[in-house]
Amino acid sequence: MAVNKQKKIKYIGTVISVQPRSNVWRYRLDNRNHSTTGYNLFLEGIADDVEGRFSVAISEKQQEKLRCRIGDTISGTAWTKKYPQWEYADYYRAGALKKLKAVITAEESAHPWNGEVPQLSVYDERGCRMLDTRTYKGKCFTCKWACMANVTIEYDWGVRQKFRFESFCYGPKNCPLYKRGKPRPVPYKGWDPDYDDGFFDEICTERRGDED
């Protein structure tokens, strides 16, 4: 019998980024589906008595209630990951969320956009493009339009899946910081990998212009 190594932890920290919690399903180059299931809070503070940077997955209702922004001080409880190969956030099943200190609301900055995150339906309607991983971790990390998605690859249809994390951008197409990065391989059992070079980006964002 497998041992359940999950445990409940307490944390407190200052918000350094709020991003959509995005899930992506890939099947060769026939499909790339996106969905959002909540938000990831990235914090600097203490989690499970360890000081440093960590991330907590929260629901849309929790974000609507607390309206977490960069600079806020947050505390709460959460659980360690059950499926670490699939879930990007360090902790999930967040509870007892409290905003201990709110940042003074300032005018939203652009490039990157650091203002309050919108509802998940806005992300789903906008669609996203692949974002270079180095750019995501650097200049785009604090942007509300950036995210590191949980990716499921249908490797052997109905038999086996593979998992990884990929960075994406829901922001304006004319953002000067944006870089797509290299084509991304999509493996399938018994075949050479296909490469997503951005073809699906145009499909996912075809409903909006360069400034939207």
Q: Tokens 């900055």 sit at which residue?
A: 109
- d(CA 149, CA 153) in angstroms, rounded, equals 12
- d(CA 41, CA 17) in angstroms, rounded, equals 6
Structure tokens at 150: 């949980």
The DSSP H or E segment spanning 194 is strand 191-196
Question: Does position 96 have pLDDT exceeding 70, yes or no?
Answer: yes
- Per-residue pLDDT band at 1 (split at 50, 70, 90): very low
Q: Which residues of 28-48 are buried (b: 16+ CB within 10 A; e: fewer)?
A: beeebebebebbbbbbebbbe
Average of per-residue pLDDT across 2-6 = 67
Domain boundaries, the chain: 11-204
State the pLDDT at residue 83: 87
Q: Of 14, 24, 17, 19, which is closest to residue 150 (Cα–Cα)?
A: 24
- d(CA 156, CA 190) in angstroms, rounded, equals 9
The DSSP H or E segment spanning 125 is helix 120-126
pTM: 0.93
Structure tokens at 96: 């007892």
Q: Is the dihedral of CA 181, 182, 183, 186 positive or negative?
A: negative
Question: Does position 42 have pLDDT exceeding 60, yes or no?
Answer: yes
- Per-residue pLDDT band at 107 (split at 50, 70, 90): low
- d(CA 24, CA 181) in angstroms, rounded, equals 18
What are the tens digits of pLDDT across the range 52-63? 999 999 999 999
Burial label for 71, CB within 10 Å (0-12, 13-18, 19+), is middle
Question: Does position 3 have pLDDT exceeding 60, yes or no?
Answer: no
The conformation of residue 112, written as its DSSP 8-state character, comes to: T
